[in-house]
Amino acid sequence: MFGSIMSANWPERISAFSRSPSQFLCSTTSDIFLAEVLRELRDDRASDHIKVLLLSPLLEHPTLLCPSVSVGEETALELMSVFAQCSPKSLPLRRHLLLALTSVLLCSCCVSSHTSASQDFLELLLQTAQDTNDAQAGAALRPLRATACDCLRELEACLPGLLSQRLELLSSLRQQENSGLHQAYTGLHALALRNAVYLLTQQKGAGAGDLKAALGSNEGFVWGEGADSAHLDSESHSDLAIFSPLTLGPMGKVPSLQTGLDCKELRSLLSSLLEESYLLTSLSQAALLRGLVEVLAMVPAVSPTIFRAQLLRLLGTCKVCLVHTTLLMKAAFTDSLFSAEDEAFLLKRLVGLSQHPLLSTPEKLFYMDCILHFPENRPISCGDGDESLPVLLTPRLAAALVPTVFNDSVSMLARLNLLSLVYLEEGEEDGEGQGGRGLAYLYDHLTSLLRIVENQGSREMVVTFFRASFLFLLHFCHVERYSEDLSQRLCDLYLRHTRLAPHLINLADRTQDRLEESGWAVALLKALQRTITEAPLSQLTLQDLRWHLRILARVAEEGEVLQRATLNFLLCVITSSSSALCVSGDWRLGNGVLGVCRRLLLHPSLDSLLTPLADLLQHLTCHYGETDIQDHARLYYTLLTTLSREKLAGVLAQRGAERGRQAKVRSMSAIMAETEELTSGLTVHQTERPLLRLVKLEKHEPDDCKPEHKPESESACESESSPGQGGIEREDYRAQFQSPSFASEITLQYHLTHTGVHDPRFDKLFSIRLHFDLTDGHYEEVSDISVPCLFRTRKPPTVRLRLKPKQPYHTTLRASAIFTTEDGLSWHSQLADLHVAFPEVFLPFLAPLGWTREQKQRVFEGIWGEICSEESEGDLTNAATSLFCDQLEDSAMGELVEKHFQRYLVSDLDKGRCKVLFFLPPQSHVLLKIITEEDAVQVHIATDNWKLLPYINSYLEDITKEIHSTQQVNGDV
Contacts of 66 (CB under 8 A, 6+ apart): 34, 58, 72, 75, 104, 107, 108
Instruction: Work out the angle between the directed axes of helices 409-426 and 361-372 (0-180°, nearest 10).
Output: 20
Using DSSP bridges, classify how beta strands 811-821 and 880-887 pair: parallel, antiparallel or unpaired: unpaired
HEC sequence for 623-659: HCCCHHHHHHHHHHHHHHHHCCHHHHHHHHCCCCCEC
- Cβ burial of 58 (10 Å; 0-12, 13-18, 19+) is buried
Q: What is the pLDDT of residue 253?
A: 66
To the nearest 10°, the Cα dihedral for 636, 639, 645, 650?
-90
605: left (phi over 0), alpha (psi -120 to 50) or beta: alpha
* Contact (Cβ atoms closer than 8 angstroms) between residue 188 and residue 152: yes
Cross-strand partners of 749: 800
Q: What is the pLDDT of residue 795?
A: 93
Residue 393 three-state SS: coil
Number of neighbours of residue 881 by Cβ within 10 angstroms: 17
Number of neighbours of residue 36 by Cβ within 10 angstroms: 16
Residue 225, CA distances (Å) to 120, 163, 369 in order: 20, 14, 40
To the nearest 10°, the Cα dihedral for 134, 137, 140, 143?
-70
Number of neighbours of residue 652 by Cβ within 10 angstroms: 21
State the Cα–Cα distance between residues 609 and 252, nearest whole angstrom: 59
* Widest CA span in the chain: 121
State the Cα–Cα distance between residues 609 and 603, nearest whole angstrom: 9
Q: What is the pLDDT of residue 680?
A: 44
State the Cα–Cα distance between residues 67 and 29, nearest whole angstrom: 12
**Helix spans in 380-518 (H):** 395-398, 409-426, 434-454, 459-476, 480-496, 501-514
* Contact (Cβ atoms closer than 8 angstroms) between residue 909 and residue 902: no
Q: What is the pLDDT of residue 55?
A: 95
State the Cα–Cα distance between residues 83 and 63, nearest whole angstrom: 21
State the Cα–Cα distance between residues 923 and 425, nearest whole angstrom: 82
Vertex 528: Cα angle to 525 and 531 (nearest 5): 155
State the Cα–Cα distance between residues 489 and 493, nearest whole angstrom: 6
Beta-strand runs (E) in 257-324 = none
* Contact (Cβ atoms closer than 8 angstroms) between residue 769 and residue 786: yes
Cross-strand partners of 764: 791
Q: Strand 905-910's sheet: what is its strand order?
A: 880-887, 936-943, 924-933, 913-920, 905-910
State the Cα–Cα distance between residues 846 and 407, nearest whole angstrom: 79
* Contact (Cβ atoms closer than 8 angstroms) between residue 51 and residue 93: yes
- Give the side-chain half-sphere CA count within 13 A for 76: 31
The pLDDT tens digits for 927-964 are 999 888 777 888 999 998 888 888 898 899 888 888 88
State the Cα–Cα distance between residues 269 and 168, nearest whole angstrom: 11
State the Cα–Cα distance between residues 269 and 193, nearest whole angstrom: 10
Contacts of 609 (CB under 8 A, 6+ apart): 563, 564, 567, 600, 603
State the Cα–Cα distance between residues 532 and 569, nearest whole angstrom: 8
Residue in 628, 624, 576, 569 with CA at minimum distance from that of residue 596? 569
Spacing of C-alpha 555 from chain mean position:
41
State the Cα–Cα distance between residues 927 and 861, nearest whole angstrom: 9
To the nearest 10°, the Cα dihedral for 124, 125, 129, 130?
-40
Cross-strand partners of 887: 936
Using DSSP bridges, classify how beta strands 684-686 and 826-830 pair: parallel, antiparallel or unpaired: parallel
DSSP 755-784: -S---GGGSEEEEEEEEEEESSSSBPPPPP
Q: What is the pLDDT of residue 566?
A: 94
Cross-strand partners of 929: 915, 940
State the Cα–Cα distance between residues 424 and 477, nearest whole angstrom: 11
Which residues of the chain fall below pLDDT 50?
A: 1-7, 225-244, 247-252, 429-431, 654-660, 662-681, 700-723, 871, 874
Q: What's the whole-model pTM score?
A: 0.72
H helix or E strand, kind and range, residue 882: strand 880-887
Residue in 801, 707, 702, 703 with CA at minimum distance from that of residue 749? 801
Q: What is the pLDDT of residue 529?
A: 95
Residue in 810, 921, 930, 956 with CA at minimum distance from that of residue 860? 930
* Contact (Cβ atoms closer than 8 angstroms) between residue 117 and residue 110: yes
Number of neighbours of residue 707 by Cβ within 10 angstroms: 18
Number of neighbours of residue 139 by Cβ within 10 angstroms: 9
φ and ψ at residue 741, rounded to 5 degrees: -90, 0
Residue in 658, 664, 616 with CA at minimum distance from that of residue 640? 616
Residue in 597, 608, 607, 588 with CA at minimum distance from that of residue 652? 597
Cross-strand partners of 843: 919
